[in-house]
């Protein structure tokens, strides 16, 4: 098990990284603004579940395999980037209903949860954290490395869930103000769609010259 000092240092470092908005936070904010705080919270729980997939992957050693293979790294990166671009395109084309116009429309809770999990599973930022940053806090001299990875990874997911939930609540509260203004739906659609596509494009270009 990690010692207390390691856990505190890890939590501080993780918090510093988590508060920087990434694709998962943007997805949560978009759903919370579009369908309300509950939708944002459901999306946040899906994102947390996606984070647990990375925890398991790091624990069983996928981290080393992924980082040692430029091909696998590229697959994860481009699939994740493509999914973000897909979500953004649907927004721009008006294929995703906005609650700013139709409060009863939009994704079901199951879809919100599923898409949140997929966004984070294929999120290059999350993958690189678990496969590059987390190992720095693992000490073979303190017992099972896999168990240490699970403990620290679960702490990271818990911290991220709290942060993501706050994003959902804050953006959901702002949505109430936006719903009273007809132009808000158009602005919301173009802003969220454009930013999602921009993030997907940036993710695809990030690390393009990574070597084996």
As a whole number of angstroms, the distance between CA 48 and CA 16 comes to 17
Residue 136 tokens, joined: 């720095």
Collapsing DSSP to helix, strand or coil, 103 comes out as coil
Assess contact for 40 and 31: CB atoms under 8 A: yes
- Whether pTM > 0.85 for this model: the answer is no
> Counting beta carbons within 10 angstroms of the beta carbon of residue 48, is it exposed (0 to 12), middle (13 to 18) or buried (19 or more)?
buried
* Spatial contact of 163 and 19, defined as CB atoms under 8 Å apart: yes
CB 104 within 8 A of CB 147: no
- Phi then psi for residue 42, to 5 deg, are -65, -40
- Give the pLDDT score at 211: 39
Question: CA 70, 86, 129, 21: dihedral to nearest 10 degrees?
Answer: 150
CA 117, CA 108: separation in Å to the nearest integer?
14
Residue 8 confidence (pLDDT): 87
Which DSSP category does 137 fall into?
G
Question: Distance between CA atoms of 192 and 197, rounded to whole angstroms?
Answer: 9
| 27: CB partners within 8 A, 6+ apart | 43, 47, 87, 115, 116, 119, 196
The angle, 0 to 180 degrees and rounded to 10, between the axes of the packed helices 70-92 and 109-121 is 140
Q: pLDDT at position 41, please?
A: 94
pLDDT over 70 percentage in the chain: 73
Q: What is the mean pLDDT of each run of 10 residues along the chain (212 residues)?
A: 80 77 78 84 94 86 62 70 79 68 62 89 75 72 80 92 92 72 71 75 60 40
Phi, then psi, of 69 in degrees rounded to 5: -120, 110
**What are the domain boundaries of the chain?**
4-205
pLDDT at 210: 40
Predicted local distance difference test score (pLDDT) of residue 212: 40
């Amino acid at each position: 098990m990690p010692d207390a000092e390691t856990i505190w240092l890890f939590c501080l470092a993780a918090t510093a990284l988590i508060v920087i908005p990434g694709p998962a936070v943007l997805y949560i904010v978009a759903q919370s603004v579009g369908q309300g705080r509950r939708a944002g919270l459901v999306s946040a729980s899906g994102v947390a579940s996606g984070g647990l997939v990375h925890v398991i992957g790091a624990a069983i050693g996928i981290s080393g395999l992924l980082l040692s293979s430029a091909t696998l790294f590229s697959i994860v990166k481009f699939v994740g980037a493509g999914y973000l671009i897909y979500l953004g395109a649907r927004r721009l084309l008006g294929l995703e209903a906005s609650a700013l116009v139709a409060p009863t429309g939009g994704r079901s809770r199951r879809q919100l949860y599923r898409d949140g999990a997929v966004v984070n599973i294929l999120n290059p930022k999350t993958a690189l954290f678990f496969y590059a940053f987390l190992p720095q806090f693992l000490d073979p001299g303190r017992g099972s490395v896999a168990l240490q990875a699970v403990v620290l990874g679960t702490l990271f997911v818990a911290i991220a869930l709290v942060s993501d939930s706050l994003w959902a609540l804050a953006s959901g509260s702002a949505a109430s103000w936006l719903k009273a203004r007809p132009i808000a739906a158009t602005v919301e659609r173009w802003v969220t769609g454009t930013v999602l596509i921009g993030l997907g494009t940036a993710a695809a270009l990030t690390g393009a010259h990574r070597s084996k």
